[in-house]
Amino acid sequence: MSKIKPSKGAPYARILGVGGYRPTRVVPNEVILEKIDSSDEWIRSRSGIETRHWASPEETVAAMSVEASGKAIADAGIDAGQIGAVVVSTVSHFSQTPAVATEIADRLGTNKAAAFDISAGCAGFGYGLTLAKGMIVEGSAEYVLVIGVERLSDLTDLEDRATAFLFGDGAGAVVVGPSQEPAIGPTVWGSEGDKAQTIKQTVSWDRFRTGDLSELPLDSAGNVKFPAITQEGQAVFRWAVFEMAKVAQQALDAAGISPGDLDVFIPHQANVRIIDSMVKTLKLPEHVTVARDIRTTGNTSAASIPLAMERLLATGEAKSGDTALVIGFGAGLVYAATVVTLP
Amino acid sequence: MAATQEEIVAGLAEIVNEIAGIPVEDVQLDKSFTDDLDVDSLSMVEVVVAAEERFDVKIPDEDVKNLKTVGDATDYILKHQG
Ligand SMILES: CC(C)(COP(=O)(O)OP(=O)(O)OC[C@H]1O[C@@H](n2cnc3c(N)ncnc32)[C@H](O)[C@@H]1OP(=O)(O)O)[C@@H](O)C(=O)NCCC(=O)NCCS
C-alpha cells in the first residue's frame, strides 16, 4: 500500500475579523401595520423589534455578502488572495445553481478559493464556523470566510400577522484563521427533524412546476402567494427557551467557561423575549454584555450573530479578546453553540 | 410525592413572581394570568415550562391555551402530576 502524505493544519483556529452589511432602507413597525391588524406596542413587547432593514433589488444576496466580507477581510488584516475557502449560509438565495459562494469568492478577488453554500437556517453561522475551524486545523485552508446572509423580506408573507413583523435582511461575515491558542471552543450542535414542521416554507417550489396552482393560498389582491416562512410560534418559543438554554450551558461546560468568566453573550436574534429568558436561565451575571441587535435589525437568520457581533464591537460594548458565547437555532430544527474569543 | 393544591398555588406564585415580577400574594386561584397577573402569551409559555419542571407534569401546547386562571393550572397539575 502506498503511503499518503497527510495535510498539515494550524494548532487552533480563531475569528480574526468581522464585518456586516445592513440594507439602506429602514422599515419601522408602522409600515408593517399597513398590512396586518396589530400595534407597535404589541410588536415591541412580544418581540423587541422596533425597526428592521429591507433590501432593495440592488442589494442582492451576493452584493450584501461582498460588502460585509470586504469589511471582515480588512478587519482581519489579510488579503483576499489568502482566503482558501468561502462558506455561505443562506436560505434566501433564489438560484440554487451555481452556489452564490462562487460569485462572492470571485468578486472579492480570492485566488480560486473553494466556495460552497450551506443550508442550516438560523444555526448557519455556527455550522459554518465549525466547518471553518475544521478546515484550518486539518489544513485544507489557512483562512476561511464564513458568511451568513439573508433577504428574508422575500420570504415573508406581509399579510400573516404571526410573522410579518419578524424578519429582516442583511449580511454578516467573519474571517477565521490559524491560532496558537484555542479561540473557538467545542461546538455543541445537532438537529431535531421530528420538529421540522414547526418552521417551514409554506409551499415547496416544485408546486409551481406542475402548473396546478388552484389550491395555493391567495393574497388580498387575488394573486397566488409566493412561498414564505411560516412557523408554530409558541412551539418554537418553548423549544428555544427550554432546550436552547441547555445547549448554551453545554457549550459553556464543553469550553470550560463559567458564566462568571464570560464577557459577551450573542444568541441568534429571533426574539428579545427568548434572549431575556436565556439570560435568566443561564444566570448570566450583570457584567456580561448581551446582544439585543434584534431591536433594530429583526430576525436575519444566519446573518444575525455576525451582525450583532460587529455592532457590539463597533459601539465599544464588546472589545477584541472578549470571551463570547454564541448560539444559533432555527428551522430544522437545528442548533449550534460555541464559545469564541472576539476578534 | 404528589403536591397538594396549596403547594401548587404557592409554587405557581413563586414562578409567576420570578417571570412577571408579580407579588406572590396576588397569585390566587381565581386570578386570570393575562388579565390580572400581566402574564402574556409568551410569559405563559415560560410559566408552563417552569411548572413542568417543578411539578413533574407534561403540559402540551394545545392544553396551554385552556389554562386561563391560576385555578385552571392548579387543577391541571393536580390531575396530571407524576
Ligand atoms: C411570533 C411570536 C412573537 C408570536 O407570539 P405568540 O404569543 O406566540 O402569539 P399567538 O399567536 O399565540 O397569539 C397571542 C395573542 O396575540 C394575538 N396576536 C397574534 N399576532 C398578533 C399581532 N401581530 N399583533 C397583535 N396581536 C397578535 C393573538 O390573536 C392572540 O390573542 P388572543 O390571546 O386574544 O387570542 C412568538 O410566538 C415567537 O416569537 N415565537 C418564536 C418564534 C421564533 O423566534 N422563530 C424563529 C426561530 S429562528
pLDDT given for residue B1 in this prediction: 66
- Model confidence at A224, pLDDT cuts 50, 70, 90, reads confident
Run of H or E including A14: strand A12-21
pLDDT given for residue A4 in this prediction: 96
Q: Is A97 left (phi over 0), alpha (psi -120 to 50) or beta?
A: beta
d(CA A60, CA A64): 6
Q: Give the gap in angstroms from C-alpha A239 to the nearest C-alpha of chain B.
A: 10
3-state helix, strand, coil in chain B (%, to 5): 65, 0, 30
For A226-333, strand residue ranges (E) read 229-231, 264-267, 289-290, 323-330
Residue B61 touches chain A, beta carbons under 8 Å: yes
Q: Quick one: which of B35, B23, B31 has its CA closest to B71?
A: B31
**Looking at A64-78, A112-126, A139-153, B32-46, which range is the least confident one?**
B32-46
Q: Name the residue in chain A with its Cα closest to that of B52.
A: A242
Q: At what angle do helices A233-255 and A272-281 cross, to 10 degrees?
A: 40
Q: Name the residue in chain B with its Cα closest to that of A238.
A: B45
Name the domain count of chain B. Answer: 1
- Model confidence at A223, pLDDT cuts 50, 70, 90, reads confident
- Model confidence at B35, pLDDT cuts 50, 70, 90, reads very high
- Model confidence at A307, pLDDT cuts 50, 70, 90, reads very high
Give the mean pLDDT of chain A: 96
Q: Which residue has the cell 402548473?
A: A211
SS3 label, residue B19: helix
- Model confidence at B17, pLDDT cuts 50, 70, 90, reads very high
Q: Is A93 a catalytic residue?
A: no
Q: Tell me, which fold does domain A12-179 have in CATH?
A: Peroxisomal Thiolase; Chain A, domain 1 (3.40.47)
d(CA A64, CA A172): 9
**Looking at A98-102, A137-141, B15-19, which range is the least confident one?**
B15-19
Q: Is the distance from the beta carbon of residue A175 to the nearest atom of ligand 1 less than 6 Å?
A: no
Q: Is the distance from the beta carbon of residue A191 to the nearest atom of ligand 1 less than 6 Å?
A: no
Domain that holds residue B45: 3-78
Contact B49 A46 (CB under 8 A): no
Residue A240 predicted with pLDDT over 80: yes
Q: Is the distance from the beta carbon of residue A89 to the nearest atom of ligand 1 less than 6 Å?
A: no
Q: Quick one: which of A140, A98, A149 has its CA closest to A119?
A: A149
Q: Give the gap in angstroms from C-alpha A334 to the nearest C-alpha of chain B.
A: 20
d(CA A168, CA B8): 42
Residue A78 predicted with pLDDT over 80: yes
d(CA B75, CA B58): 13
Write the residue with the smallest CA distance to atom 47 of ligand 1: A330
Residue B62 touches chain A, beta carbons under 8 Å: no
d(CA A76, CA A176): 9
Write the residue with the smallest CA distance to atom 24 of ligand 1: A38
Q: What are phi and psi of A199, to 5 degrees?
A: -140, 115
Domain ranges for chain A: 12-179, 188-199+227-341
Ligand 1 atom at shortest distance from the alpha carbon of A162: 20
Dihedral sign for Cα A275, A86, A106, A153, please: negative
Q: How far is the CA of A36 from the centre of ligand 1 (A)?
A: 13
Residue A213 predicted with pLDDT over 80: no
CATH top-level class of A188-199+227-341: alpha beta
Chain A: which residues have CB within 8 Å of chain B?
A: 45-46, 232, 234-235, 237-238, 241-242, 271, 273, 277
Best mutation site among A237, A294, A301 for ligand 1 pocket (most ligand atoms within 8 Å of CB): A237
Query: Which chain A positions have a beta carbon within 8 Å of B42's beta carbon?
Result: 46, 234, 237, 271, 273
CB atoms within 10 A of CB A15: 27
Q: Is the distance from the beta carbon of residue A233 to the nearest atom of ligand 1 less than 6 Å?
A: yes
Percentage of residues in chain B having pLDDT higher than 70: 99
pLDDT given for residue A207 in this prediction: 82
Q: Please compute the mean of the pLDDT values over residues A168-192 and round it to a whole number.
A: 98
Nearest-CB residue to B61 (from A45, A234, A271): A234
Q: Is the distance from the beta carbon of residue A86 to the nearest atom of ligand 1 less than 6 Å?
A: no
A12-179 and A188-199+227-341 share one fold: yes
What CATH number does residue B65 fall under?
A: 1.10.1200.10
